[in-house]
Amino acid sequence: MIKKMVSVLASEFEVEEDLLKPEANIKETMHLDSLSLVDMVGLVDEEFGVEIKTADLPTIKTFADLYDYVFTRLS
């Protein structure tokens, strides 16, 4: 599941998969502005069926945070 998420994010945001390490900051690594962040939220919903609530966004800083958020909601 993590491999698929890394692949989807890297492809959509045109970054190298190797950069998407669990401890890496999402916004900095993928060069996301607020509009791109909304795109990422939509992509996660579309690809994995997990809606990231606006109130939860500040808690998702690293890729590990994102993986945990998605996995918790898929369980």
Provide the pLDDT for residue 1.
87
pLDDT at residue 7 greater than cutoff 90: yes
Buried b (16+ CB within 10 A) or exposed e, 1-36: eeeebbebbbeebeeeeeebeeeeebbebbebeeee
Percent of the chain with pLDDT over 70: 100
Domain that holds residue 66: 2-74
Q: Total domain count for the chain?
A: 1
Residue 44: CATH number of its domain: 1.10.1200.10
| pTM (predicted TM-score) | 0.92
29-50 per-position pLDDT tens digit: 999 999 999 999 999 999 999 9
